[in-house]
Structure 1
Amino acid sequence: MSDRIYNVLFLCTGNSARSIMAEAILNRDAKGRFRAFSAGSAPRGTVNPMTLKVLASYDYPTEGLRSKDWAEFAAEGAPVMDFVFTVCDNAAGETCPVWPGQPMTAHWGIDDPVAADGTDIQKEAAFVTAFRHMRNRITAFAALPIASLDRIALGARLREIGRGEGSTAARHHVA
């Protein structure tokens, strides 16, 4: 068993909901195997309060979570990433910084709960749905035998995870 801890960066445009959820979920559920971070191309500067409410309702720690620019992770001295996942369609289409170390990448698009309309209960339901889809992806990712897969097989598995239930890719691509 490898003692290696893999660094994972979750990217979204605003870095206030989905990428923050992913950071919190991976850091708690795969502690000791992965170290997760999140960032955005145009960060809102604050974490959406509903993100914090939903994370807390599932007993995920929220202290230290903050909305930050992805340039922070492309700067000299930043942790070298092993994996970089985009979790929103906008970030997937943007030109990302060059990440040192040639990390594995994949797109895990999930609907933006911040964009949900309706009552407060309907809006919260959108955050819970995003949380559930993200947790399912992270559970599948954390279960991968990373050390025993070659880059091609690992890349295929990462993309497959991104096409799971709740994927925005299903709506945007014709099979």
Structure 2
Amino acid sequence: MSLLIRDATAADVSAITALYADEVRERVATYEYDAPNEQEMARRMRDIQGAGYPYVVAELDGAFAGYAYASSYRGRIGYRWTVEDTVYLRPEFHGRGIGKALLAKLIDLCEAQGFRQMVAVIGEPGNGASVALHERLGFRTVGIFQGLGRKHGRWLDTVQMQRPLGSGDRDAPAGEDC
């Protein structure tokens, strides 16, 4: 088994779009209702990468297995040291450690960039695999929003998890004066 985690490129957009469309249609990891097309997914990738956030893909034996990226947690300046992670795997690749490898790479890249906190927003507590993945990499549950979203005809709770990056909130970032 040869696992490769690498930066996402425009050549990955088709596979990313297909995986995300399946998530939109079939599951509740995202609360989006309409699957975006390739042009929209390419724009989203460019925006995330253009803002300086990491966006990576996993290949297992040369086959696209999934992707992950970090993005801004919130738009206000005071949140600039906090990122939100996103990880998606093709269902046939679940349980092989690929999600862990993607998230670990994302954590390493975000720490190297000086981010101090990573937040996971997990669509419903019943997504035990995602909760367990995040726990294995040092996240802790900080809250559950009840009935925060609605999809597939039901109200969904949302798990909020958090993990410090680097020294977390123990000291101020270099050059920070606020």
Query: Could you tell me the TM-score, scaled by structure 2's length?
Result: 0.28
**Higher gyration radius (CA):** 2
Larger proportion of strand: 2
Structure number with higher relative contact order (C-alpha < 8 Å, ≥ 6 residues apart): 1
**What TM-score do the two structures reach when normalised by structure 1?**
0.29
Indicate the structure with greater helix content: 1
